[in-house]
Chain A
Amino acid sequence: MATRILTVEDDERIRTAVKLALEDEGWSVDEAATGEEALGRFAQAPTDVVLIDIMLPGLDGFEVCRSIRRMSDVPIIMVTAREDTHDIVAGLEAGADDYLTKPFAPKELSARIRALLRRVRTTDATHLVFGDLEIVPEENVVRRAGHEVHLTKTEFRLLLELATSPGRVLSREVLLERVWGHGYFADGRLVDVHVRRLRMKVEADPASPRHVMTVRGLGYKLQA
């Protein structure tokens, strides 16, 4: 079955052009003009990736993103008109996996979608343990103190990258490449906000993390 992409965009021309371009790339596309319509469609039909424009009339992009995140861990890409730090960080914190600034090249969007849909890479290890943190790559399961923690696919991939290089520091650039499939010049805030989200879930006290550690000037590492 073709991968279904839900695009949420209020400008009809852009919506139509993006749909044409995405279908040209081989995806099948559902459209929504408003946030409310998007939530309706998402509930009705199975969706593999959601593309949300932040500037929507009524229910805004952030709110749509948060609502979908409550229901599902489907990959979400935010589209912003500005390289505005505030919008981007707010979008990522609302639960988006990646973002694009308008206008973007459809080929770039396709590459991002493919990266988000990649299978989690397989490892030889069947069971990774870091103190009270337990990762089972085969089953996509993470447990903290015996309780299962629910991670999005991107968060899981990030954790797994750190877990398979135990004690080693991974730079933002390396993580951007391995987790998001981005080049060297991608936005490091993507990593920072995802690390923040990850800590909320896997750390007993996210404010003073014991597992996902920041190494100033270098990057991040995972420890027991």
Chain B
Amino acid sequence: MARRRLRLPSPARLGLRLRITIAFAASTALLAALLAGTTWGLTRENLLNQREAAAIRQANLNSIVMSSLVDADARDEPIREALGNLATPTGARPIVEVRQAGGGWRSIPLLPTVGAAAIPDALRRSVTNGEAARMRVDIDGEPELVVGIPVNDGAAAYYEVVSLTELERTLSSLAVSLVGGSVVTTLVGGTLGYWLSRRTLRPLANVSLAAEAIAGGRLDTRLEGVEDPDLNVLVSSFNHMAQALEDRIDRDGRFASDVSHELRSPLMTLAASVSVLASRRGEMPDDPARAAVDLMEADVNRFQQLVDDLLEISRFDAGVARLSLEEVRLPELVRQAVRQHRGDRPDVPVELDADLAGMVVRADKRRLVRILDNLLGNADAYGGGPARVAIESGGPEVLIAVEDDGPGVPAEERHRIFERFSRGPGAGRLTGGDGVGLGLALVAEHARLHGGRVWVEDRPEGRPGARFVVALPVLPA
């Protein structure tokens, strides 16, 4: 059956969480930049205006002071002296210009470095025309404000060059603060976005956890309902899917149990009838009849074993296999299982580490016996019979090993050998009641149900043969 895959709508180059985080960071950055820009612009305008107003006020006062001193005949020295005595805002450098009889101007600056050249022509034109004016200029790379005021009806002019450097420094440190603030805000925005995205996506994480749980066999896993109507759609369709899956697996499990009943009834009739025939074996007229009864008896047993194994494995598949735990004295159980399996044949030694002699574990006795039976049966069928059984401690686990003197299992087959209906080397031959092909698969399933595992390896110390090991966790008894 072709699998249908739904494509989720997503550009998918970046993760959803990363994209949400980036969107948050970008929006906060934009907002912060906008706010910072506006703040800086408004503050700058405001500070400059204040500064200009103050400078103009001061220059007006100073020009009135100077008006009594300046006329065409006045000498430079007293004027310069008066300029030095003027109250000027910090860094203001005054210049007085006096109109000369030929229409030219005589400049009298307080400082020789800031003279007529500092006054822009446009400003001078306004003042010459009788209008007070101001202008921002750069002198030697420093920002300055030049204020010009006509004095004595245009007979003279008073100028002040006011430094704006301090103001610019204030503004640039404000700019630094604002940029810093914006960066911090952006980071906070990004973090918030990350946190929010985790919160928002948590239901998705829950969905994937639940899906994992279901895949792991916990079929009754469901998602809790949420308030969010958008997410509730996801939750309810997920739960619906899980329910449908569970129902279906239940049906399969019931099917196995129905098949069980259906198969076991005719088997029961067969087993009882064959036993009547077998008890009359001695009265049979000839060898073929006796051979036929023997064959029938053996194969009814094998049939029964096969049905049992199939049912057992279908219970694993349906996820309805449950451990029935009880306290088990492991060494005794292993010895008894080996003895029962061997029957009239010579016993096989069970060796155990000295500290394990009285070991009690919580385990499913029936399943442990099935594990041992199947491993011993496998050794009979493919390893020339079990050579040694050992119980060893392996840290948190206890190891049960069944060794044989057979040809061993080649490395490439060691994994496959635990699959269903896989037979060992020399496959195809069925010996006695063995060789059904589910034995080792069931060993693996029983071990897994106990939280343990099973593998096959070479026998230690270079001895020929295979060593099958079942490792079971030691549950506190």
Contacts and interface: CB of A to CB of B under 8 A. Distances in A.
Interface string B329-345: 00001001100100000
B271 interface: yes
A102 B264 contact: yes
A212 B271 CA distance: 40
A185 B337 contact: yes
B279 A185 contact: no
B352 interface: no
B327 A103 contact: no
A196 interface: no
A21 interface: yes
B272 interface: yes
Contacts of A44: none
B336 A185 contact: yes
B423 to A, nearest CB: 26
A85 B272 CA distance: 25
Contact of A24 (B260, B279, B369, B477): B279
Contact of A105 (B271, B340, B360): B271
A218 B360 CA distance: 9
B326 interface: yes
Given A185-B340, A217-B327, A24 B268 contact: no
| Residue among B268, B270, B340 facing the most chain A CB atoms (10 A cut-off) | B268
A24 B327 CA distance: 40
B472 to A, nearest CB: 17
The secondary structure that dominates the A interface is: loop
A18 to B, nearest CB: 5
Contacts of B275: 21, 24, 105-107
Size category of the binding interface on chain B: 20 to 34
Interface in B340-365: 340, 360, 365
B38 interface: no
A20 B264 contact: no
B264 A103 contact: yes
Given A24-B275, A102-B264, A103-B264, A188 B326 contact: yes
A172 B201 CA distance: 54
Interface centre among A106, A183, A216 (most CB of B within 10 A): A106
Nearest to A23: B276
A214 B333 CA distance: 21
* Count class of interface residues, chain A: 20 to 34
A11 B265 contact: yes
Given A11-B265, A103-B304, A217-B477, A17 B327 contact: no
B322 interface: yes
Nearest to A10: B265
A40 to B, nearest CB: 24
B268 A102 contact: yes
Contacts of A17: 268-273, 276
Contacts of B366: 83, 185, 187
Interface in B428-477: 477
B327 A21 contact: no
A81 B267 CA distance: 11
A213 B37 CA distance: 86
A130 interface: no
A14 B260 contact: no
A112 to B, nearest CB: 15
Interface in B279-298: 279
Contacts of B336: 184-185
Nearest to A13: B269
B240 interface: no
A21 B271 CA distance: 9
Contacts of A11: 265, 268-269
30 contacts: A13-B266, A14-B272, A16-B269, A17-B268, A17-B270, A18-B268, A18-B272, A20-B272, A20-B273, A21-B272, A21-B273, A21-B275, A21-B276, A24-B275, A24-B276, A82-B257, A83-B366, A102-B268, A103-B264, A103-B270, A103-B271, A103-B304, A105-B271, A105-B275, A106-B275, A106-B276, A107-B275, A184-B340, A185-B337, A187-B366
Interface of A: 11, 13-14, 16-18, 20-21, 24, 55, 81-83, 85, 102-107, 183-185, 187-189, 216-218
